[in-house]
Structure 1
Amino acid sequence: MTTEQPKPKMQRSRLLRLIVAVVVTIPLVISAIYMWALWDPTKKVDEMPIAIVNSDVGYGEGADRVDAGQGVAENLVKSGALGFELVDEQKAYEGLRAGDYYFVIQIPKDFSESLANIATVTEAPALISVTFNDYNTLKASSIGGSAMEKIQQSVLKGVAATTVGTLVDGVQSLGDGLRTAADGSTQLADGTTTLREGIENELAPGVGQATEGAGKLAAGAGTLSQGLYTLQAGTDTLGDGATQIADGIERLTGQIPLAQVEQLLQQAKAALPNASQLDTVTELIEGLKALQAGSRQVANELTDPNAQYRGGLNKLVDGGAQLSSGANELSAGMVKLDAGVAKLADGARQLDEGAGKLSTGLNDGAEQAPDFGDQDRRTSLASLISTPVGKEYKHVAQAQFNGPGAMVVILIIITMLIPIVVFMSFRGHRFVTDDEAPRSVRDIARRGLAVAGISLVAVWVLAALVWFFMLSPSPDPVSLWQVYLITAAATVMNVALISVLFTLFGYVVGAVTSLAWMMLQLFSYGGIWMYQTVPAPFQWLYWISPMTLVQKGYTASFNGVSGFWPAFVSIIVIGVVAAGITLAIVQWQNKRYQSLNAPGSSGDADTEILTPTP
């Protein structure tokens, strides 16, 4: 009869075993993750599949057309810095959601237009967007950001000809305009020369001739003056004659007492009954009086220079003579002056044409020359020219800074780590030896179900705490029910796999191998490090790791892409196979034990059978 030995306190307290399990496993996992984080993948990043989308439509026509986006895409592919693939936009973003590409580089539609017009001073460079999805892989964003800094030279090489060429074209256009202006200024100089020659050869002689004409006009005016003197003398003679006539008439009329005669005639008309004959006498007397006054007036008009007739006649004759002589000479001079002015007009016309060309050339050059603006804008433009292409990072779900993209990795870790901790919190058992009775199939199945139930509850609780209280914003998977299914399936699968290790190797070795298996998978499954960048043995492990299937299931459920059901079914199959292996191991151990301890066997003579501790 066997005597049951008292159990150590550690064996009796499940809480103490749980505390020990947590204290042991958590630092190991953190240390493993930190150790893997020190891995330098830069030698293998050229194998990372990266999608390039060239949405640039180009700018301009003919020889002036700019296709900077095509140049950038080709330079990136040729650089081989990453595993670049030039694809269309739909394929790129579908591949990003499915995990086929680690990130997407997209060249915008107006890329060439922005670069072609960079000399007009823009507020921002042409932006190339880089989109990451941390639901798929945590390190892709950080490695991608570092890689993008290194491949910036390839981008700048592709746009240098466009940005610098734009400024060179602008300066060249300015030079062409200035050369046109120079040609116009030459014609302007020719026009001014023609103007000078016209003035010297034509206008000046014409003015001289006009001066000569003026001299002749003066001579004619002198001749006219002499003639007028003669006319004046003749007028004086005529005036003397008129005066004498007036004096004679006055003497004649003075000998006749006209007043008395008029009085007598009035008396005679009154006394005579028929005095019509006297009217003739009266008229004669009136005529004599009028003749007397008129002759005197004529004499005054001919002799008095202040009289209207004599003064007006003198001015008219003088002015008419001067006008005739001067007009003739002036006409001759003006004919020559007109010829000189005509040539002056031709020179002025050439001057105007040259000035027009100068103005047009300068205006065209000014329009085509870059307008750099004030000092601040010139400083901004200098910065744009030195770095004409910027990067804009986008995240479907960012993991850094407690972002929702970390949820997939957290779920993968806890679906495996919690079952290990739960297994370790249960009472341990040693290796199965020839003298140790193994546990029954029923005990193993019961323990497996208990571990699975506790693990599921713990996973849901811990996942909910992280989901709602640690991540901001909370994750927003496309299919939440698929997340539930894949989490439950992964937890149960890991329980089955860990059960194999604990059943096969016992408590201590089973715990160590489970943790080692977890750490190896964390490094190789592709959710933290891109599997193309890890050493070759770990790349092989990627294809056989159950954690890889869990990652694919989460990728499908969070991103809403195909692949969920194949991953889910594969996880279930692995769990069932692992559970079957556990039961087969237990049956084999029991059969072996029974055969070794059967009556008459060589092994039961000196063997003390101990009742296994449940």
Structure 2
Amino acid sequence: MKRGLFMHSPLLRTKKGWFALAAVAIVPLLYSGSYLSAFWNPYGHLNSLPIAIVNQDQGYHGHQEGRQVIHMLPKDLHTRIFTSGQNVHAQKLLKSGKVDMVIDIPKNFSRDLFHQHTPTISYATDPGTNYLTGILMDREAVSLTQSMVHHIQSHITHREFAGMTRLQQDSWKLHEAAATLSQKSQALKPGGITLSQDLKAVATASRQLSQNTQQLASQYHLFASNVQAYVLSQDKVNHNMNILSQKAGDFHQGILQEQQAISALASYANKLANQSTSLTSASSSLTQATTQLQGNEERQGQLLQEAITLAHKSPNNPSTQKELQQVLGRMQAHQVPIQNLSQHINQGATELTHNLQAFTQASSQLAASTQVLDQHAASLTASSSAFDTSIIELQQASAQITEAAQKIDSGAQQLTEPLASLAQGQNTASRSLGNLSSHLTQYTNSVNLITQPLSLFSSHLTQLSKDLGKAKNPLSVLASPLKTHHMNVGPQGNYGTGLSPYFVGLSLWVGALVVTVLVPGGKKDGLKTRQWLSLGLSAAQFLVLTAGILILLPLHPTHLVVFWLVLAAISLSWWAIMRFLVEKFGDGGRLLAIVLLVVQLSGSAGTYPIALSPRFFALIHPYLPMTWAIHVMRYALSGSYQSVLVPDLIRLLATALVCWLLTQFLPARLAFDAPSLESPKTLS
């Protein structure tokens, strides 16, 4: 009997009935399909969340590490890049929900990386805009930090490997320059010995010449005493003898000056030989230290190559990280001998430069003494010529005076031997001075040849010192090159506070929908009564809900008064929408209200951010009343979305006004009321 009644029901016998059944059957699928499709895999689309990056890095010596960090971020990451001074604008975007995280790169980022300082990257989020977004951004910050650390470690490792290669090349060049300098220094030693021998020969000839001069002066004084009587009577002979005496005195004085100059020349030559020996010793010591430094640098390069292999082999393996730390420790231990050898090389180079300066000064003094000796030799030669001239004039005078010649004949014979010895000594001294001048010129040329290798050695040593200074920096920060600082710009949220706007808006919508069951739509005659009655029920729902959640739940709105006002505005808007739907579409209006609810739950970003949803929901998101309601409630709870508070409130109230005007003045009514399950006959 009952089965027959069911089969004859208008719900199954009319198209409207079948349509109602189909709509009811589709609603669960619509809810599940819409909501699950909107948030099917939110964690797989984290790169779709908008992020602002404030790059304040000022760079360091042409290096822009901040830009390098930005370039290594995932290519599909939705980023907005800001420069220094735009941090305030980025924070405003974060507070308004237009970006979900702000990454701040400090201004000394590049300089800190190059000076063994660990820079700090700041991450800023606002849980007030979306609590789940804050949680997702925490995970994204950890992932981005790991990528940055890996990039910086790889960059430092490659840069240090290149630096070690340059250091090894500089060490080898320094070794070659030191070897060349040593060879050139060894070539100076024979020249110094020859120059010393020549100086000794000049000194011997000078001493012999002085002795001959003294003997000649003694014989001349004896000769002068023998002819004294005759000179008194002969003016001409007296005049010639006076001239001869004067010339002999000048010649003797020139011999003494030449002896002093030769003594000074011998002293400077001995000093030059000593400086040459010191220069050779310093060069040999520097060569040995350079060889040791090259060996240590090769070992350091092997350790660095081992560290690079471990870093690329398995960067997340704890055992590999432990081995990497051990290798880094050994590299730092080898760094101390390298620095000590570098200091020793710098000291040796300084000492070598000092010895070379002293050597050059001694060479200059020797050259000056040689010039003085040449001047004295020329003066001595002139005096000797003048002396010979006076002797000739005296012999002429003696020839004229036979008696005087006989008296001084014995004295003249005694003067002949010293004069011959003096001439022979003068020739010997001239030959020695010629040899000294020739060898001194050759030695000066050898000194000039060593200047170029020494300059090259000094250049390589300076470059090696610079590379050593650069090589000691980044190894200590390789294990942990980056620090992070995560801050919340708004109050710290929790799950309940974060999802309150979503569930409160949902509760008021469901409450307004339930009111339409108690106060359904109808004809125009009872509209005013139905509106006031339903409005009173909605107001009661608003008061009970607002007071209840504030009393029963630990909810502490940042703006309490605004919280009451926005919930009143939302309740009014939902009431106006529901009255319009149920008055103009009947039971179909309730169905439309359920469909709108399902769509808004998926597209209002009340749980996960809208950037993680499909494009359809992202397109309709800005135009959904639930989106506006969630924005204004989040402002009341946490202070976020301040920039959209007034516009969204205006949209909510404008929606309520439009729906009320349509309900009040639109005459058409397309009511779709589902037929009863029982037939009219059965009901009667």
> TM-score, normalising length from structure 2?
0.49
Contact 2:557–2:563 (CA under 8 A) maintained in structure 1: no
Contact 2:519–2:534 (CA under 8 A) maintained in structure 1: no
Matched letter for residue 486 of structure 1:
V
Matched letter for residue 526 of structure 1:
A
Q: Distance in 1 between matches of 2:198 and 2:617?
A: 108
Residues 475 and 428 of structure 1: CA distance in aligned 2, closer, same or farther (over 3 Å): closer
Pick which of 144-153 and 129-138 moved more.
Answer: 144-153
Q: Distance in 1 between matches of 2:509 and 2:52?
A: 38
Matches within 5 A, 1:338-487: 342-352=272-282, 355=286, 358=348, 361=461, 366-370=468-472, 381-384=477-480, 388-389=481-482, 391-397=484-490, 401-402=494-495, 406=498, 409-418=499-508, 420-421=510-511, 424=514, 428=518, 440-465=526-551, 469=554, 474=556, 476=558, 481-487=561-567
Shift of 1:419: 5.1
Matches within 5 A, 1:127-146: 127-146=120-139
Contact 1:416–1:494 (CA under 8 A) maintained in structure 2: no
Work out which of the residue numbers 500, 515, 518 in structure 1 matches 2:597: 518
Q: Distance in 1 between matches of 2:552 and 2:192?
A: 99
Partner SS state of residue 105, structure 1: strand
Q: Distance in 2 between matches of 1:565 and 1:415?
A: 18
Contact 2:97–2:641 (CA under 8 A) maintained in structure 1: no
Deviations 1:242-290 (A, max 9, x none): xxxxxxxxxxxxxxxxxxxxxxxxxxxxxxxxxxxxxxxxxxxxxxxxx
State the match for 1:72 in structure 2: 69
Choose between structure 1 and 2 for higher RCO, CA contacts under 8 A separated by at least 6 residues.
Answer: 2
Residues 107 and 403 of structure 1: CA distance in aligned 2, closer, same or farther (over 3 Å): farther
Q: Distance in 2 between matches of 1:578 and 1:368?
A: 73
Matched letter for residue 71 of structure 1:
Q
Deviations 1:117-145 (A, max 9, x none): 3xx3x4x4x33333222332344334445
Q: Distance in 2 between matches of 1:560 and 1:145?
A: 20
TM-align CA RMSD: 5.1
State the match for 2:327 in structure 1: none
The answer to whether residue 179 in structure 2 is matched with residue 186 in structure 1 is yes
Q: Distance in 2 between matches of 1:154 and 1:586?
A: 64
Contact 2:60–2:111 (CA under 8 A) maintained in structure 1: yes
Contact 1:422–1:454 (CA under 8 A) maintained in structure 2: no
Matches within 5 A, 1:279-358: 342-352=272-282, 355=286, 358=348
Work out which of the residue numbers 549, 559, 571 in structure 2 matches 1:491: 571
Q: Distance in 2 between matches of 1:92 and 1:169?
A: 38
Work out which of the residue numbers 73, 93, 100 in structure 1 matches 2:98: 100
Work out which of the residue numbers 621, 625, 642 in structure 2 matches 1:542: 621
Shift of 1:491: 2.0
Work out which of the residue numbers 89, 92, 96 in structure 2 matches 1:91: 89
Deviations 1:54-101 (A, max 9, x none): 1111112xxxx211112333454x823225444632322222222222
Pick which of 563-572 and 351-360 moved more.
Answer: 351-360
Partner SS state of residue 79, structure 1: coil
State the match for 2:22 in structure 1: none
Q: Distance in 1 between matches of 2:112 and 2:496?
A: 33
State the match for 2:107 in structure 1: 109
Matched letter for residue 485 of structure 1:
L
Q: Distance in 1 between matches of 2:468 and 2:175?
A: 14
Contact 2:521–2:586 (CA under 8 A) maintained in structure 1: yes
Q: Distance in 1 between matches of 2:669 and 2:681?
A: 20
Contact 1:106–1:128 (CA under 8 A) maintained in structure 2: yes
Partner SS state of residue 479, structure 2: helix
Matches within 5 A, 1:119-134: 120=116, 122=117, 124=118, 126-134=119-127
Shift of 1:489: 0.7
Matches within 5 A, 1:557-568: 558-559=639-640, 561-568=642-649
Residues 411 and 157 of structure 1: CA distance in aligned 2, closer, same or farther (over 3 Å): closer
Residues 85 and 515 of structure 1: CA distance in aligned 2, closer, same or farther (over 3 Å): farther
Shift of 1:348: 1.0
Contact 2:104–2:122 (CA under 8 A) maintained in structure 1: yes
Q: Distance in 1 between matches of 2:177 and 2:81?
A: 55
Residues 572 and 181 of structure 1: CA distance in aligned 2, closer, same or farther (over 3 Å): same
Contact 1:167–1:370 (CA under 8 A) maintained in structure 2: no
Q: Distance in 2 between matches of 1:438 and 1:445?
A: 11
Matched letter for residue 98 of structure 1:
S
Shift of 1:543: 3.5
Residues 31 and 132 of structure 1: CA distance in aligned 2, closer, same or farther (over 3 Å): farther
Q: Distance in 2 between matches of 1:486 and 1:609?
A: 46
Partner SS state of residue 51, structure 2: strand
Matches within 5 A, 1:561-580: 561-580=642-661
Partner SS state of residue 107, structure 2: coil
Contact 2:54–2:87 (CA under 8 A) maintained in structure 1: yes
State the match for 2:403 in structure 1: none
Matched letter for residue 517 of structure 1:
L
Partner SS state of residue 563, structure 1: helix
Residues 571 and 466 of structure 1: CA distance in aligned 2, closer, same or farther (over 3 Å): farther
Shift of 1:417: 0.8
Shift of 1:28: 13
Contact 1:177–1:364 (CA under 8 A) maintained in structure 2: no
> TM-score, normalising length from structure 1?
0.53
Q: Distance in 2 between matches of 1:174 and 1:44?
A: 46
The answer to whether residue 53 in structure 2 is matched with residue 52 in structure 1 is yes
Q: Distance in 2 between matches of 1:441 and 1:565?
A: 32
Matched letter for residue 50 of structure 1:
I
The answer to whether residue 77 in structure 2 is matched with residue 81 in structure 1 is yes
Q: Give the paired residue count.
A: 413
Q: Distance in 2 between matches of 1:439 and 1:191?
A: 122
What residue ranges of structure 2 are gaps of 5+ in the alignment? 1-27, 201-264, 287-344, 351-460, 674-679
Residues 466 and 95 of structure 1: CA distance in aligned 2, closer, same or farther (over 3 Å): farther
Matched letter for residue 351 of structure 1:
S
Q: Distance in 2 between matches of 1:608 and 1:359?
A: 119
Contact 2:521–2:579 (CA under 8 A) maintained in structure 1: no
Partner SS state of residue 343, structure 1: helix
Q: Distance in 2 between matches of 1:44 and 1:97?
A: 22
Residues 394 and 36 of structure 1: CA distance in aligned 2, closer, same or farther (over 3 Å): farther
Q: Distance in 2 between matches of 1:29 and 1:456?
A: 28
What residue ranges of structure 1 are gaps of 5+ in the alignment? 1-26, 208-334, 373-377, 594-605
Contact 1:493–1:574 (CA under 8 A) maintained in structure 2: yes
Shift of 1:451: 1.9
Shift of 1:114: 2.2
